[in-house]
Amino acid sequence: MDGTVLVADDDRTIRTVLTQALTRAGCKVHATSSIETLMRWIREGMGDLVISDVVMPDGNGLEALPEIARIRPGLPVIVISAQNTIMTAIRATEARAYDYLPKPFDLPDLMKRAARALRVKRRRVGPAATASAASPREAPAAGPDGDLAVTGGDCAAASRPADEEDRLPLVGRTPRMQALYRLVAGVINTSLPVLVRGPSGSGKSLIARAIHDFGNRRQHAFVVADMLDFARPEDLRRLFGQARNGTLLIEEVGDIPLNEQGRLARLLDRPEAGSIRILSTTRADLPARIREGSFREDLYYRLCGVEIGVPELRDRIEDIPLLARHFLARAQAHAATAVPGGTRLHLGEAAIEALCRYSWPGNVRQLEHAINRLAATVAGPEIGCGDVEQLLHSQPGDDRQHSEGGDVQPLSDAVARHLRRYFDLHQGALPPPGLHGRILREVERPLIEIALEATTGNQARCAALLGINRNTLRKKIADLDIRVTRGRKLM
């Protein structure tokens, strides 16, 4: 990796870490804590890549992007931000940032993105490339990871209400949520139909609303239809008329009966439907429904120009503290409006741990309702572990709900969550070969160790318990380097 990188961040530690890593990779680095200094370097023609924070002491990295594009068309800018909401990704995409990463970021991931940005910059070098980059409106239509990019419109962040993030609790710093944010930001100003798939309570309708509210149709109507609206043809035609030039959201499209699906498919083929942005949500596996014959394949392809998958809350446990604090701050802000001078609450660390142990079958919606109840019922000043556990014991449960002895979720769920995190850590790249053997080894070793403890080290009883041959057990003990101790009883 070669080239000159300009780093702008008011955190000295981040500047030092990035400078060292980029220098080791072969780059020249100029680092500053000032937007003014960064802009001076850019005006002087310095740099092949910019890595900039958003909030700086003397300015805002996102607000500087249009000016950077005007001065140096084609200069890639990677935005890093501690503001881990969907709005940061939307603003970064609108302002034509090359890429966006949340803090705390994964350094190897950032280095890969920086290397890719420098390669793109080199390909653009030359008279033809310079001429084609003369206007920032002519940015490429695809982002660095193949995501769709905004195809028109200037950064409109300055004209938006200050409370917009309060209305959009799409909060998260896990890789899956950040990938979702980038995809949402990329499709906002296109006309492609979008299918948002995910479990109940995960925020599907919020994502659809964000696509409308921050896209180029936000001045027009946002119309919501559900299964009941498909019972009578005149109701459906009326909704299409109301949504003209705006957005029509079809909620839980997988629940629509087959006859009504045909009616919807025919309406989508009419010329007037071309003026409407079609969004839909589903908790169902539509490809499986197609195979079963309960969902029309032609309708699926009319609705699924882009599919956005929303993960379950249990699959992004690391976001629970962030979400819980966000919901608590919002609940207290609303309470302060109604009752000025109320007690300020905060979540204790033990309470956060209890929230993270719970399985949240109702996803983000259930977490929000739980925090609202705690905000209304706890006297304060701290929400403790006991407050959380008392509330969670009254929640509708499932076989994965935590109990007094801990989380009793099925092993397959725990393994699936572990594997998703493992794949997420590779940021789109594949893990090293041999994954099947490594995973089996990780599961097999503790299984045999615990079985040996339960049988006090008696290998004959352990082999019978596991249902394998005694010689097979001995070989596995040797291969896995398991220490056998006689006389220890687990239960």
The domains of the chain are located at 4-153, 191-311, 314-407, 432-479
pLDDT of residue 342: 60
* List of residues 6+ apart from 366 with CB closer than 8 A: 201, 313, 360, 395
Short-list 370, 323, 368, 324, CA closest to 348: 324
For residues 144 and 122, give the distance between their C-alpha atoms in angstroms, rounded to a whole number: 14
Q: Which CATH architecture has domain 314-407?
A: Orthogonal Bundle (1.10)
Q: Which CATH architecture has domain 191-311?
A: 3-Layer(aba) Sandwich (3.40)
Per the CB < 8 A criterion, the answer to whether 28 and 12 are in contact is no
pLDDT along the chain (491 residues), means of 10: 92 92 94 94 94 90 91 92 76 84 83 90 49 31 32 35 48 81 87 93 90 90 86 84 93 89 90 90 92 93 94 89 91 69 81 91 92 89 91 65 44 72 68 81 86 86 86 88 64 34
**4-153: what fold?**
Rossmann fold (3.40.50)
pLDDT of residue 400: 40
pLDDT of residue 409: 53
Output the CATH code of domain 432-479: 1.10.10.60
pLDDT of residue 129: 36
Domains 4-153 and 191-311 share a fold: yes
Torsion-angle region of 3 (φ positive above 0: left; ψ -120 to 50: alpha; else: beta)? left
Short-list 177, 230, 243, 173, CA closest to 206: 177
pLDDT of residue 403: 39
Q: What is the pTM of this model?
A: 0.64
